[in-house]
Structure 1
């Protein structure tokens, strides 16, 4: 077919009748297709050869364009059995390998075939969505040069097909999601993943968005979480002999935020550099930035709230229930930062309701309250009054829980209650000072019945993570939150069998997910809206407080009622109190001793507090 068509076309062009030429080409294409059924396959074989030329010179390109245009007018004569080789050859063609004239002819054929018969719709949609991935053999400069031309044609074609085949968007969804790159088993480039997700987000925001919005957004979140889970703790850990997962990213000089490539400023024990060679981390970082930019475009288009419900529902189903999510949760954090009054408050209420809803599974409730505490602690964009309102409801729930119990300390039976108490203390470690500095909130905070939920038979101070308890007690004492002279029945707040039973190596009880983001590019988006521990001025940092005053915080005087057993416990554990006080100024959270024997440290070394809050990236916190 190919050679004869070109000779005839040349003859007809001398007549100047282009319509007649096109009609003749279509006629010859129909004749070639029909001849296969009668056993005459000579022209058909020539056609197949023309669709797969060994070389792609000017003559071959012209032949390819001619044949595709002719076939577009003869799609009614294509049989999926008789012409399977032809269809297979066309469906394997990549727009990325051709110039605009071939691309346009190929798109024309695909559109004609998809709209001619329902049996070809899925194959045509699959062929179009395959264009979401540039060929691996194509050099990067050509990919970048052809990207807009290829993808604009693909999305325009998808819209054209949807207009004529209304059910095609519904059928498109599983094709796109099932076409997710198999990054675990091959060397899928970051660029390929980025282009794939870029197209998912373009579908979400395009004319097909009404149908595909929810599954496309959910698919993006699922992919982010899949990459997140592939990043193991061993990829983050640097030197276990120094105490695993100790970091102080918040101490990076904020005046150099624009120069985040300088890893020399980051702490030695754990920095973004430890993830630098991790392909999953690099891919996740790029995809999160792409998602952040999409959220920004939604805000500009005044439709952030429109997609936030979908994003929130996806978060509840995937990220909130994930076992080891490290970074994917920052997508919802960033969305909230773009609209604090609506999205920011809605997210907090969702977490709050998930924790309070008694029929939810215990692990889900504990995960929700950990997310809630971490979110309220770290979100700079939230009003302190929003934080105070949530805190009051958490305290009220804990008070009611205590009143209904007639039980002794039991980490397993009361793990939801202990999670709530720990969340309250963690939150106050970050927010106590700002509340005490507010003339409206200070008297309210002092009146909160904190002592009733922390000093009772259930003994949460003995069960919760010791370093959170220690920091909370120090701030509470300095702020004089406990005005009675009754002493706490608590003389062993350092890590014990009780706290290990509540937490342990494989639990989510002590998970604080919004600790500083270690992904370099993503962090530049999160950082302006994020509260680092170095920004927090604890209540014991008043100018009129001396080191002696801080030390008195652990002595049971008449004002604070702190049991001197705390100091005795420190001494029995061979602590240097000056060293502990210095560590506490950095907000230590995960004590080492419980993990040293498991990760190669010396058991007989004195316990030292890590340099910053990072329970969400330590095995103890899981």
Structure 2
């Protein structure tokens, strides 16, 4: 508590008044000096102007007197913006717009923010420069990146960013067109390069994009475009950074331990908690269709929409499954797009344990009808490449049933429903999908279908003795449909089959679908690891049910853990490859 003025002696009060008068006189003198300096810029005697510009350049080891001078100068400039000319004072404006809040303490930061706001409000010609200056302060200068690892660096980050976003909102209130001008500036300033030094900068910039997206001006700025820009950034990350590069840096690192993914997941969780997930999901869905669906070897970006679905399975999960099914069934989409859609759909329904069994059966029914209708319309030519979309659908049906058959037949009305699907007509048609699709999937499907008494034709069980024919081999070799349908979550493991008893699966089930892939993966350090007891409570409700729960990561400290519910699926994953077929 300070001492009240009434407690001062008269002499002390007089001395204080004299000191205050001295400060006021000093401030007035500086304001007058600033105005004179601005006027001098047009004359040959412009030393005062150059001195002012030099003062704003100075930011290293400021003494208290330097700080006081800088604060007063910035405030004086705020009161003299009407005297600033864009041409005459170009060097001064360039200096102001290149000042970094990260280089100063709170008093200078506040004075600088005040000046930026005043400039933006004074004239439309300064708006873009002021917004750009603030966006540039989303991230620190390179020399400050290392400091972000320490508490004082985190504190500085908070002090800077709260002022930046407050200023953006304040300017948007003063200048109605400012939000529409902000989006292109953000997109232009978004980092594009990925390397060890750049990663913290990229992550911090994305954090600020999410903060802007969820702010009061998010809708005016363009929430959808901000979300789509982040997904595009993840696609760039897919292209620029190979999985081998990540492992070389840290063999134990998983997808969900990468800060960029953590940041994105945290924002989606925040949106869910604040009732905005469905709104954001529509942006993700649009971005998935435009960017991710046909991306070559996407490793990371698709997990963003998968995680969003796991947060709200009833709305988002259902929406995504129906969206992919619609895209496959609609003949207006290009063949590769339809194949990619059904590949994602198969993996999503197989591994997304948060999806209800009735929904899975409903989607399977739509796929079966589509494939059955196609069979009836085809005759003659049986070249697999001509019917590649059909075979992709057949393989998707079999793949999902390999994972879901047991849960379906355990529910009488669903077993009856799936028994009514035209599966026998499809798989015994003249197009012979069982001879073209991936043999390992066909074999497992037939084993389960036989046990479930699912495939019958004229009352007789249907099974093929020859699972891989010359036709299958000629269909594409290593570019066969196994590439098109390669699962996004890697393993087939701990799935109860229809031909197994209630004791569950054995460890020998791991390599049923992709033995070559899994064996190769097991040779890579840090990719295939044993099923462990480490797990995350948050992911028991979300990612864990989708079989992509990380064994251990920075998410643990953010989302907590629970030791009561064991995981159901493997904890480590290898990044998926999106469909890459030449069919």
State the TM-score, normalized to the length of structure 2. Answer: 0.80
* CA distance in structure 2 between the aligned counterparts of 1:22 and 1:166, rounded to whole angstroms: 34
* Equivalent residue number for residue 538 of structure 2: none
* CA distance in structure 1 between the aligned counterparts of 2:480 and 2:188, rounded to whole angstroms: 32
* Equivalent residue number for residue 413 of structure 1: 386
Shift in alpha-carbon separation, 1:383–1:132, aligned structure 2, 3 A: same
Shift in alpha-carbon separation, 1:28–1:507, aligned structure 2, 3 A: farther
Q: CA deviation at 1:278?
A: 10
Shift in alpha-carbon separation, 1:342–1:15, aligned structure 2, 3 A: closer
Gaps of 5+ in 2: 1-16, 524-569
* CA distance in structure 1 between the aligned counterparts of 2:251 and 2:503, rounded to whole angstroms: 48
* Equivalent residue number for residue 265 of structure 1: none
* Equivalent residue number for residue 438 of structure 2: 465
Partner of 1:451, secondary structure, is helix
One of 493, 500, 518 as aligned partner of 1:534: 493
Q: CA deviation at 1:439?
A: 1.6
Shift in alpha-carbon separation, 1:480–1:125, aligned structure 2, 3 A: same
Query: Cα deviation per residue 1:185-230 (whole Å; 9 max; x = unaligned)?
Result: x654332222111100000000111122111111111111211233
* CA distance in structure 1 between the aligned counterparts of 2:71 and 2:302, rounded to whole angstroms: 48
Shift in alpha-carbon separation, 1:466–1:162, aligned structure 2, 3 A: same
One of 369, 373, 376 as aligned partner of 1:400: 373
Is 1:82 the equivalent of 2:82?
no
Shift in alpha-carbon separation, 1:539–1:275, aligned structure 2, 3 A: farther
* CA distance in structure 1 between the aligned counterparts of 2:51 and 2:330, rounded to whole angstroms: 69
* Equivalent residue number for residue 498 of structure 1: 472
Contact map agreement 1:95 1:150 (CA 8 A) in 2? yes
More deviation in 82-91 or 363-372? 82-91
Partner of 2:41, secondary structure, is helix
Contact map agreement 2:484 2:578 (CA 8 A) in 1? no
Shift in alpha-carbon separation, 1:586–1:187, aligned structure 2, 3 A: closer
One of 355, 365, 368 as aligned partner of 2:341: 368
Is 1:133 the equivalent of 2:133?
no
Gaps of 5+ in 1: 1-11, 237-272, 517-531, 546-580, 600-610
Partner of 1:533, secondary structure, is coil
Query: Cα deviation per residue 1:353-400 (whole Å; 9 max; x = unaligned)?
Result: 111111101111000011111111111111100000000110011110
Is 1:514 the equivalent of 2:488?
yes
* CA distance in structure 1 between the aligned counterparts of 2:311 and 2:215, rounded to whole angstroms: 21
* CA distance in structure 1 between the aligned counterparts of 2:423 and 2:190, rounded to whole angstroms: 50
Shift in alpha-carbon separation, 1:91–1:292, aligned structure 2, 3 A: same
Shift in alpha-carbon separation, 1:137–1:231, aligned structure 2, 3 A: closer
* Equivalent residue number for residue 152 of structure 1: 162
* CA distance in structure 1 between the aligned counterparts of 2:479 and 2:399, rounded to whole angstroms: 20
Q: CA deviation at 1:490?
A: 4.5
* Equivalent residue number for residue 48 of structure 1: 53
C-alpha RMSD of matched pairs (Å): 3.3
* Equivalent residue number for residue 589 of structure 1: 513
Contact map agreement 1:467 1:590 (CA 8 A) in 2? yes
* Equivalent residue number for residue 242 of structure 1: none
Partner of 1:535, secondary structure, is coil
Shift in alpha-carbon separation, 1:105–1:205, aligned structure 2, 3 A: same
* CA distance in structure 2 between the aligned counterparts of 1:27 and 1:278, rounded to whole angstroms: 63
> How many corresponding residue pairs?
510
Q: CA deviation at 1:58?
A: 1.8
One of 111, 119, 125 as aligned partner of 2:125: 119
* CA distance in structure 1 between the aligned counterparts of 2:487 and 2:326, rounded to whole angstroms: 18
* Equivalent residue number for residue 438 of structure 1: 411
* CA distance in structure 2 between the aligned counterparts of 1:298 and 1:112, rounded to whole angstroms: 33
Q: CA deviation at 1:121?
A: 1.1
